[in-house]
Structure 1
Amino acid sequence: MATDPDINDLKAFVAVAEAGGFTAAADRLGVAKSRVSQKVSRLEASLGVSLFSRTTRRINTTPEGEFVYGRCGPLLSELTEVLEEVGQAKTGLRGPLRLSVPMELAVQSLAPLVRRFMIVYPGVQLELRSSDHIIDPVQEGIDLSFRLGWLKESRQKAVKLRDFEQVVVASPDYLARAGMPQTPVDLANHDWIALSLLPAPLTWSFVHQDGREERVQVRGQCKTDATTLLRALLREGMGISVLHELYAAPDLSAGALVRLLPEWHLPRVGLYAVYPPGRFVSPRARALVEFCRSELAGF
């Protein structure tokens, strides 16, 4: 005889549907893969339907699974949020918080912010995943992502923490060898280090402080997909490139890099905190966003 569905089995099903597999769901829930499989099988038996179609390579929700997820997923997220908020209002902020942060941002700025946050909220267990590449926050079980640049339209909810300027930089050694560019057009005759993460890493639009505009196409003798390596190549005198002021500040202060064309400006970029899609937002993630917004206000 079929039993009534168990809410814990429903949680396991939703985790598999969102993570795209049993292994990823098990990592997200912090339990064994066999336990997740057992819970989903028990839910399927209770409902009398198959919720997933399984192959050797991938797993997909069945039409019945899509229906259950579409109706129950938002309700379960809202219930989880309510219970977390009630519980943590009584006991204080605690529990896991998984972040995705670009490597350079983590090293340069987020590390001291996180240290101060953990002093205020010692009950939070933090996991940092650093990468310059965009990952799937749902599949990876990410509670909050930090991104520096421009965001495309997506299902994800983003909070802008602040704006930063982009600056053109090079090392003193490179400038002694190749000369100092006087206008953006001069950059076309210099060696350029391209950051391949950008949609158009060799095309730049400048605006002078008097309102004049210039658009330049540079030539990328060298390219990299990591901002940390880009800074290292710049310090080694490989050429000229653009850094966010947040990343460039230490090298500019130390004299390892020199800012070029200070009277010309590039579009400003934003520092964003990005929540994963879905209605549920971890109270810990919200607390960190507000903490960072307050800390960065005086930068």
Structure 2
Amino acid sequence: MDASQLYRMLVFASVVEQGSLTAAAETLGISRSMVSQHLKRLENRCQLSLLHRTTRKISLTQEGQQFYHYCAELLKLAKQAEAAIIPNDEQLQGSIKIAAPVAIGELALAALLKEFHKRYPQIHVSLQLEDRKLDQLEHHIDIAIQTGQPDNEELVAIKLAQYDDYLVASPEYIANHGAPLHPDNLNHHQWIMQSANQLPRRCQFDNSDGEKFTLQLTPFINCNTSLGCLKLVKEGLGLAMLPEHIVKQPLQAEKLVRLLPDYHLGRGGIFAVHSYQDVVPARIRAMLAFMEQRLYRDTP
């Protein structure tokens, strides 16, 4: 028996199960005429009439009833085989290791993982929060959340959101030092920067008129995480350029003030990066889809 005959038996069982050629065609993802051709070839091969067909309904012949019993078992086994490798949501299991920047992990991923666990209770998640980028293969990371732009063409990057950098300070800092009205004033302020050292950093400010201002800014305080920089800014120790998804809530709560809003400081993306190329495991696909649908979904 060749593979074509096995497939025709599955088509026959689907027609009986669905009650019509049209419904079976939709289930199988083929055309109604193709279903009809498979049935005709099956009957020719068996030298039997398996179905009584009218314009309104189908019914099994006596021989078809007996033949259907075995074809139905074949269809059942095929569905069980598929379910074994493509389980439904409740059956998905295994582990996923995720690496992410500290701020994204604490401010966004924690809530997302709570919802993910409700949907996929048997998937275990290992979350590693690091502001430095880790080698995904060396650290056995399934999904890395990265900001900026992807820098490894060998990895698959899925864009989750886009963001702008905002220049922010606390009301206390502004009360003590004043608010800069132009980029030329920025060298006179105390800067908080995410950096491992206190070396000057080149920064560019653009406005809607096409003017560009390039400055060399030296940090007053440097910190190795963006969330640490945010806390220092909220304490009134200086001003900083931070991604909008980090400062959004403090701005809404008026704990921070956005400075020079007419100037564009830079734009980046938030990406989910993984190393799976041709075949992505079901549990990883589920997490990636969850991130695409829910992580910063209100971000343009």
AA at the equivalent of 2:274:
Y
- Alignment length (residue pairs): 216
Aligned partners of 1:161 and 1:273 also within 8 Å = yes
Moved beyond 4 Å, runs of 4+: 83-86, 277-280
The alignment status of 1:297 with 2:297, answered yes or no, reads yes
The alignment status of 1:94 with 2:89, answered yes or no, reads no
Instruction: Classify the secondary structure of the residue corresponding to 2:145.
Output: strand
Instruction: Classify the secondary structure of the residue corresponding to 1:165.
Output: strand
The alignment status of 1:113 with 2:120, answered yes or no, reads no
Partner Cα separation in structure 1 for residue 92 and residue 200 of structure 2: 42
AA at the equivalent of 2:121:
P
Partner Cα separation in structure 2 for residue 201 and residue 157 of structure 1: 34
CA RMSD between the two structures: 2.4
Larger radius of gyration: 2
| Structure 2 counterparts to residues 202-241 of structure 1, below 5 A | 202-241=201-240
Q: CA deviation at 1:92?
A: 3.3
Q: Per-residue CA shift, 1:205-242, capped at 9, x if unaligned?
A: 12212332222221212111111211111111111111
Aligned partners of 1:138 and 1:277 also within 8 Å = no
Cα–Cα, structure 1 residues 151 and 201, in superposed 2: closer, same or farther, change >3 Å? farther
Partner Cα separation in structure 1 for residue 248 and residue 276 of structure 2: 33
1:157 paired residue number: 156
The alignment status of 1:274 with 2:273, answered yes or no, reads yes
Aligned partners of 2:196 and 2:222 also within 8 Å = no
Cα–Cα, structure 1 residues 171 and 142, in superposed 2: closer, same or farther, change >3 Å? same
Cα–Cα, structure 1 residues 298 and 224, in superposed 2: closer, same or farther, change >3 Å? closer
2:251 paired residue number: 252
| Structure 2 counterparts to residues 46-57 of structure 1, below 5 A | none
Consecutive unaligned residues of structure 2, counting only runs of 5 or more, are: 1-80
Moved more, 180-189 or 269-278: 269-278
Partner Cα separation in structure 2 for residue 249 and residue 169 of structure 1: 11
Partner Cα separation in structure 2 for residue 242 and residue 217 of structure 1: 14
Q: CA deviation at 1:277?
A: 6.5
Q: TM-score, normalised by structure 2?
A: 0.66
Q: Per-residue CA shift, 1:77-117, capped at 9, x if unaligned?
A: xxxxxx99952336732211111111110111111111112
AA at the equivalent of 1:286:
R
Partner Cα separation in structure 2 for residue 209 and residue 225 of structure 1: 32
Partner Cα separation in structure 1 for residue 196 and residue 101 of structure 2: 12
Partner Cα separation in structure 1 for residue 194 and residue 106 of structure 2: 18
Consecutive unaligned residues of structure 1, counting only runs of 5 or more, are: 1-82
Aligned partners of 2:98 and 2:144 also within 8 Å = yes
AA at the equivalent of 1:89:
P
| Structure 2 counterparts to residues 1-299 of structure 1, below 5 A | 87-89=85-87, 92-196=91-195, 202-276=201-275, 281-295=280-294, 296-299=296-299
Moved more, 205-214 or 252-261: 205-214
Q: Per-residue CA shift, 1:17-68, capped at 9, x if unaligned?
A: xxxxxxxxxxxxxxxxxxxxxxxxxxxxxxxxxxxxxxxxxxxxxxxxxxxx
Query: Quick one: percent identity of the two aligned structures?
Result: 29
Cα–Cα, structure 1 residues 171 and 140, in superposed 2: closer, same or farther, change >3 Å? same
Cα–Cα, structure 1 residues 185 and 286, in superposed 2: closer, same or farther, change >3 Å? farther
Q: CA deviation at 1:197?
A: 6.5
Instruction: Classify the secondary structure of the residue corresponding to 1:137.
Output: coil
Cα–Cα, structure 1 residues 298 and 180, in superposed 2: closer, same or farther, change >3 Å? closer
Instruction: Classify the secondary structure of the residue corresponding to 1:89.
Output: coil
Q: Per-residue CA shift, 1:250-269, capped at 9, x if unaligned?
A: 21122221110011112211
